[in-house]
Amino acid sequence: MSVEAGRAEVVLLMGPPGAGKGTQAARLAEARGLRKLSTGDMLRSHVARGTELGRAAKGIMDAGELVPDDLIIAMVEAELAPMRPVRVLLDGFPRTPGQAEALETLLAREGASLTAAVALEVADDELVRRLGGRAVEEGRSDDNESTIRYRMNVYRKQTQPLLDYYDQRGTLHCVDGMGSMDDVFERINGVLP
Ligand code: AMP
């Protein structure tokens, strides 16, 4: 696929923890010539480096709560502001209405708008199964069973309402996230403009 370097493109990958956002985000970003920004990865890097943000975020992440909007928005803004044009695939952001509004303002300032919000849909028991596997493979400190359930609730309460927000704007595409990585990738490609 050709890389359209001159045109703004902003794709959001949404879905509950364990839906496969990280894997699909990496492939999609590569295929579409987009920079992948994963707020979870960025935060884990801050924690590993022991930065001020990392020290503020660690306990919150381990508890499965959301890091406060102002910290997340500042972190994303620092990455987006220098991009000309904005060509980005956002993985795990926005997660709250406040973050969604901030993103809209940021993009408007850069003369860009949202291309698509893709929501991966995966059954709950499959999410728990996948996250349990990831806990063994990656040793993430927030992938234990009680935190997994808690994060799924946080997603339902705080992030799922955003799907309506994007649906009302005509940018939401719900994609079946069950099945093989290749199948899901093809489905996502199929809904993107
Ligand atoms: P993830 O890797 O996307 O599952 O994120 C791991 C953890 O990082 C989450 O459980 C939150 O504690 C935090 N986090 C990541 N992205 C955000 C965000 N957009 N807003 C608030 N907290 C976030």
Confirm or reject: Cβ of 60 under 6 Å from ligand 1.
Answer: yes
pLDDT recorded at residue 5: 54
Q: Whose CA is nearest to atom 12 of ligand 1?
A: 61
pLDDT recorded at residue 1: 41
Q: Euclidean distance between the first and final Cα of the chain, in Å?
A: 13
Look at the block and give the residue holding tokens 């894997």. 23
The string of DSSP letters for 135-153 reads: HHHH--TT-SHHHHHHHHH
Confirm whether 134 is a catalytic residue.
yes
The per-residue pLDDT string of the chain (193 residues; one tens digit each, 9 = 90 and over) reads 444 457 899 999 999 998 999 999 999 999 999 999 999 999 999 999 999 999 999 999 999 999 999 999 999 999 998 998 999 999 999 999 999 999 999 999 988 999 999 999 999 888 888 887 777 777 777 777 788 889 999 999 999 999 999 999 999 999 999 999 999 999 999 999 9
Delineate the domains of the chain, giving CATH numbers in brackets. Answer: 9-36+86-187 (3.40.50.300)
Collapsed DSSP state (helix, strand, coil) of residue 191: helix
Confirm whether 149 is a catalytic residue.
no
Strand runs labelled E in the chain:
9-14, 35-38, 87-91, 116-121, 172-176
